[in-house]
A and B are shown apart, each in its own frame.
Chain A
Amino acid sequence: MNSLDIAKIVLVLIGAPILGCLLAGIDRRLTARLQGRVGPPILQPYYDVMKLFQKDNMVVNESQNLYVVLYVVFVILSLLMLVFDADILMIVFVYTVSSVALVVGGMSTGSPYARIGSSREIMAILSYEPILILYALAIYLLTGTFKLSALNNTTTPLLMYIPLIFISMMFVMNIKFKKSPFDYSTSHHAHQELVKGMLTEYSGPGLAGIEIGHFYEYVFLLGLMFLFWKVNIIIGLLVALIAFLFVIIMDNITARVYWQWMLKISWTILLIISVVNVLYLYVAKIKLI
């Protein structure tokens, strides 16, 4: 590991939460404008986190904050692996650790609201995980390896050959950002639910930790979208930005659906179009390298 790598790590550790925080701030501002409100300052998520850290550490279960630490640490790890062009399939599995930590953390409190939220989040995992792995498979089929470093040697963007997976991934973004219509495990909108689902029993520093984790997660998820056009950084960032705006707009124009609907949509439409896309790659034998 050379000094450049260390600089990269430090940059990710410090830069990603700042970026994520700004994204969250923009999200809240945009959402407010779409709802005809003025909205909070862009730095509001930062003020929230700082305030949460000063609150008492109220817990139902003494070990509930262990899961927060696991969640944050593994989100950071998956982001770092993405930055270092690791194996995409392994990134998906490491990312699963963080999702599972949050689910189990919610259940560990024993609160009925949190358990309902966690159960629904498990269903969300069932909905999006196959698509994430199909995305990984598609990258393998196009580059001949699961290592993302191969994408640096390509000249054609992935999006050209896997547009259907891109569409599915847009929905995955919606699920993973926990945005309406798929925000039933825990919601950002007060009008969608009275109690904060999976995170009901988290408050103070624990909740602050989860918020910081979300900042990293936003960057990680948009990083996955960036891969679709990695050959050109500007367009890649644009793709990520479009995905982000798509999530916000969907969030504001839709109402929460039943979790059963999401499962149906993802295991029928999204999965089928992704599989079709993958089968096309098998049949056409397209190689980017």
Chain B
Amino acid sequence: MLKTTIMLLITAPILFSFLFVALGKSLYKFLAWAFFIVGAVSSIMLVLDGTGKVEVAGSSFALLENIVLILEVLIILFVFYVSAKHKNWPTLALIAIQTVIAAYSYMTIAKVESVSFNIDQFSQVMILIVNIIGTAIILFATGYMDQYEKHKHLNRQKTFYFTMSFFLAAMNGLVMVDTLGWLYLFWEITTLCSFVLIAYNQDEESINNGFRALALNLIGGITFSLALIMLSTKFDISNLSAVGTSSTAVAVALPVILLCIAGFAKSAQMPFQSWLLGAMVAPTPVSALLHSSTMVNAGVFLIIKLVPAFANTPLGIAIAIYGSFTFVMCSALALSQRNAKRVLAYSTIANLGLIIASAGIGTPLAVAAAIMLLLFHAISKALLFLCTGEIEHTIGSKDIEDMSGLIKKAPFLTMLASLGMISMLLPPFGVLLTKWVSMEVASSNPIVSIFLILGSALTTVYYVKWLGTILSSSMDKNAVQHLKPETYFPLSLLGSLIVVTSILVFSIYDYFIKPQIATLLNIAPTVSGQGGQFSSEIGAFAYAVIFIVLALAILIYFATKNMFTPRPAGYYMCGENNLEKDKLMFRNGIGSYDKSSVSNIYLQNIFGENKLTTLGYVISILLIVIALVEVVVV
């Protein structure tokens, strides 16, 4: 039963990807709905099937192994082809190195007799994220891409949907498979898919950014394959779950750090962050997919799976410091950005940094926080990205300053976007709850703590700025919202998922996270969920009370609303208003009329990219080098 579901989860998206190619544009909407339903049902089926290991051996394995080999060769050839075609020498050099390593590993690594899939609770969570959020994003895309392509004069939707669906298949494989060789294949497929999607517009900028993503992820791919060779030849390990057994922790430290570096690259941690920032040239659904349900999650997924190998070791501390450094640095960079997508990109990198920091701390509670943050972040970030895309279609801009007055123009969309932002920074929502757990567990390490504290304050600032801007009312109303079901269904779904998962946080913890931590670290964190309180030995978070109070506040508002009849009035402009023309106009010193405009504070000269990026590169590279040296010396 489990085996069928696993096969279904890999083959169904592939089938859909070919259907997208075979069928016409007019059917995409129905296909996407079908894909969403299949994705949701099959992922829930996997959860119901329970956990376990599945082995595929014998003749079917031989066939699959050949397919894998062919795919690997095809990937290499494809990268050679595109990098030669676009004369991108760094990528060409990297793929050449990769080829040499691949050939070497083909000759040296002992052939495995079977491929094994390892379904644990963490895989289940990832499968739910990929197949519910991922397909919802594809559904959203069917309401988005026509207008996008019209605007950009493109006609490449077949490539788009094919790659998006294939991406989900690779991602499904990646989170379920246990055999490292296969994991590596899926890893490379996601790299390739993201390259195709980032370069989607086929103009100079998008192709360059696509190559940057490809090159940086190839670096990760190289460290990954080096780790593979080491694990296989020195330790005779070919399964991911075997790396994690803590008995060999010290010995496998070098391959583990190499795998972690591959994870850092994939999760766009500093110094690799530029590929994810460049990725925003792609259509918004691509960004949403990369940032929330696929690509970047693969990196942190791998790192969390490796926790047993570095928990409570110096390497773990190094990883924690590195992650928290990325968190504070990228939060500071996000503060200086006006472009909504860039803010979100930095926020993603920062939150992944927080996940990595929690994984690095490595106590049971910290790892629980890491997995839960991964889940909550995926939902909130998918919603925020899709909302940004829809806002861009509504007002024609992704500059935060242009979004003022959005509440008047597109009220429902603004509410959803606000929900997304609030869930990123305020209690009682899941992201904040897990951030709270991370901060409490980090208190054992002063450097990590201080980084998290500063990053947390910066996070509040950049989201509140944006939140206030979209909720501010303005008098001009020159936008219309198009309430299409295929765009608003995914948005509403994600919005309700945020609320539901936040309310059910303890049940989620109990069902998925607790047994997973027990498998990873052999002990489960001591957390109780009595009376709507998430309490550990060092703190308690009464999320239920906050939910009740929040509901109460809204009730009080509506109950008292009619006690004081609101009387609408115009702005106060010190008596210099020009009410006839525009409520925001005022009479200036020389008697003519000016429009008042106020913008947020971005602190460009303190937290600007040109001030901080170099510093970020230097320190993050230094931290990785220190971790490497530490591993080699010890």
Contact = CB atoms under 8 A, between A and B. Distances in A.
A73 B552 contact: yes
Contacts of A74: 549, 553
A123 B601 contact: yes
A167 interface: no
B457 A107 contact: no
Residue among B465, B545, B572, B573 with most chain A CB within 10 A: B572
A115 B598 contact: yes
Contact of A112 (B440, B471, B563, B584): B584
Interface stretch (B24-32, B33-41, B201-209, B448-456): B448-456
B467 interface: yes
Given A118-B468, A279-B446, A146 B461 contact: no
Contact of B456 (A81, A115, A129, A282): A129
Interface in B557-613: 557, 560-561, 563-574, 584, 596-598, 600-601
Contact of B432 (A60, A93, A107, A141): A93
Contact of B540 (A86, A103, A109, A126): A86
B539 A126 contact: no
B601 to A, nearest CB: 5
Nearest to A143: B538
B567 to A, nearest CB: 5
A83 to B, nearest CB: 13
Contacts of A70: 553, 557
Given A89-B439, A110-B405, A103 B568 contact: no
A200 B472 CA distance: 14
Contact of A194 (B560, B574, B601): B574
B464 A122 contact: yes
Nearest to A67: B471
A172 to B, nearest CB: 12
B446 A278 contact: yes
Contacts of A147: 538-540
B542 interface: yes
A111 B427 contact: no
Contacts of A42: none
B469 interface: yes
Given A104-B471, A126-B461, A133-B453, A146 B539 contact: yes
Interface size class of B (residues with CB under 8 A): 35 or more
A103 B542 contact: no
B539 A60 contact: no
Contact of B436 (A93, A116, A118, A141): A93
A90 B433 CA distance: 9
Given A100-B464, A110-B405, A147-B540, A200 B572 contact: yes
Given A73-B556, A77-B549, A86-B540, A137 B443 contact: yes
A137 B449 contact: yes
Contacts of B560: 69
B404 interface: yes
B549 A73 contact: yes
A90 B541 contact: yes
Contacts of A194: 574
B496 interface: no
Contacts of B458: 126
A168 to B, nearest CB: 13
B556 A69 contact: yes
Contacts of A97: 426-427
B64 interface: no
Nearest to A275: B450
Nearest to A59: B566
Contacts of B561: 65
Interface in A220-271: none
Contact of B446 (A65, A201, A204, A282): A282
Interface string A167-185: 0000000000000000000
Contact of A107 (B425, B469, B554): B469
Nearest to B463: A100
A274 to B, nearest CB: 9
Given A125-B461, A201-B572, A90 B453 contact: no
Contacts of A116: 598
Nearest to A56: B567
B474 interface: yes
Residue among B464, B554, B569 with most chain A CB within 10 A: B464
A10 B572 CA distance: 39
A97 B464 CA distance: 10
Interface string A181-194: 00000000000001
A25 interface: no
Interface string B272-310: 000000000000000000000000000000000000000
Contacts of B564: 57, 65, 204-205
Interface string B410-428: 0000000000000001110
A96 interface: yes
B307 to A, nearest CB: 24
Contact of B460 (A107, A111, A125): A125
A44 interface: no
Contacts of B545: 77
B540 A87 contact: yes
A94 B453 contact: no
A281 to B, nearest CB: 9
29 contacts: A58-B568, A73-B556, A77-B546, A81-B542, A86-B540, A89-B436, A89-B539, A90-B436, A90-B539, A94-B427, A97-B427, A100-B464, A104-B468, A104-B471, A107-B471, A108-B407, A108-B468, A110-B472, A111-B571, A123-B461, A125-B464, A130-B454, A130-B456, A145-B538, A146-B440, A195-B574, A201-B571, A278-B446, A278-B450
Q: Which 6 A-B pairs have the closest CB atoms?
A: A107-B468, A57-B564, A146-B539, A129-B457, A73-B553, A61-B473
Given A70-B553, A100-B425, A125-B457, 4 more contacts: A57-B566, A89-B440, A111-B571, A112-B584
Interface of B: 404-405, 407, 425-427, 432, 436, 439-440, 443, 446, 449-450, 453-454, 456-458, 460-461, 464-465, 467-469, 471-475, 537-542, 545-546, 549, 552-554, 556-557, 560-561, 563-574, 584, 596-598, 600-601
